[in-house]
């Protein structure tokens, strides 16, 4: 079991775009094992390789409820192939300890990726489910995009970040998402959650 250090917001590696995995080598397998051990140790529902300082395109998710056996889903070289609808999501991130941010997300996403053995699969999640949000959140990490870049209210987010002793929003990364915002304003709100990705 190797629990490794999770990088905090402000670390440049979180902003570095990650590289494609060409082979699920023993090195890649070790990184995935570290992701799994670390995510469970920190009670997260997802963790991406750059968060542990490894800039490769891989992340894991486990949105199982308490009591269910651990069942981490491994995504290697993921690609979002469909995204529709919009929701607002109150979400956290293990790289932003205890900060929960109101973000804009797509409601429905479909991702294709390779599994832990390098075999292709497609996964779909809908209606702003925890899995749908987590897939977008983790996929973003591979491109150096972070949850605060999807803030619905950047001033409110900056206040939360300051309270948690984290750096402010970097406006160079802010995502515009005017269409998502418009759709969210006209749709029901999601319940507040307290999971960290």
Is residue 93 within the footprint of Zn ion (CB under 5 A)?
yes
Q: How far is the CB of 186 from Zn ion (least distance, A)?
A: 28
- Candidate segments 1-9, 83-91, 92-100, 155-163, binder of Zn ion by CB under 5 A: 92-100
Interacting positions 8-37 with Zn ion (CB under 5 A)? none
Residue with smaller CB distance to Zn ion, 39 or 87:
39
Instruction: For residue 88, give the nearest of 196, 195, 182 by alpha carbon.
Output: 182
Judge contact between 76 and 114, C-beta under 8 A: yes
Catalytic residue (one of 54, 138, 177, 183): 138
Is residue 177 within 8 Å of 153, Cβ to Cβ?
no
The site for Zn ion, by CB under 5 A, has a size of 2
With binding defined as CB under 5 A, does residue 197 bind Zn ion?
yes
Nearer to Zn ion, 141 or 152 (CB): 141
Least distance to Zn ion, CB of residue 2, Å: 20
Question: Is residue 39 involved in binding Zn ion (CB under 5 A)?
Answer: no
Find the length of the chain: 197
The binding track of 116-155 with respect to Zn ion, each residue x by CB under 5 A or -, is ----------------------------------------
Identify whether the C-beta of residue 110 lies closer than 8 Å to the C-beta of residue 123.
yes
Q: How far is the CB of 137 from Zn ion (least distance, A)?
A: 6
d(CA 103, CA 91) in angstroms, rounded, equals 7
Contact between 173 and 12 under an 8 Å Cβ cutoff? The reply is no
Instruction: Identify any residues that bridge with 84 across adjacent strands, giving them in sequence order.
Output: 108
Tokens representing 165 are 């002793």
Q: Which residue's Cβ lies closest to Zn ion?
A: 93
DSSP string, 125-148: E-TT-HHHHHHHHHHHHHTT--GG
42 tagged catalytic: no
Indicate which residues carry an active-site annotation.
Answer: 138
Chain positions contacting Zn ion, by CB under 5 A: 93, 197
């Amino acid at each position: 079991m190797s629990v490794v250090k999770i990088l905090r917001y402000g670390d440049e590696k979180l902003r570095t775009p990650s590289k494609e995995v060409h082979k699920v080598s023993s090195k890649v397998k070790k990184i995935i094992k570290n992701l799994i051990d670390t995510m469970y140790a920190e009670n997260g529902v997802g963790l991406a390789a750059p968060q542990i300082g490894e800039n490769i395109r891989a992340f894991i998710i486990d949105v199982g409820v308490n009591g269910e056996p651990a069942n981490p889903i491994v995504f290697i070289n993921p690609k979002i192939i469909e995204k529709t609808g919009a929701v607002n999501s109150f979400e956290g991130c293990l790289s932003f300890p205890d900060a929960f941010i109101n973000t804009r997300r797509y409601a429905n996403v479909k991702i294709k990726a390779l599994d832990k053995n390098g075999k292709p699969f497609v996964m779909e999640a809908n209606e702003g489910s925890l899995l749908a949000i987590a897939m977008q959140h983790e996929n973003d990490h591979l491109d150096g995009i972070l949850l605060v870049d999807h803030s619905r209210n950047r001033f409110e987010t900056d206040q939360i970040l300051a309270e948690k002793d984290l750096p402010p929003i970097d406006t160079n990364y802010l995502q515009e998402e005017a269409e998502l915002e418009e759709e969210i304003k006209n749709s029901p709100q999601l319940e507040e959650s307290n999971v960290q990705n």
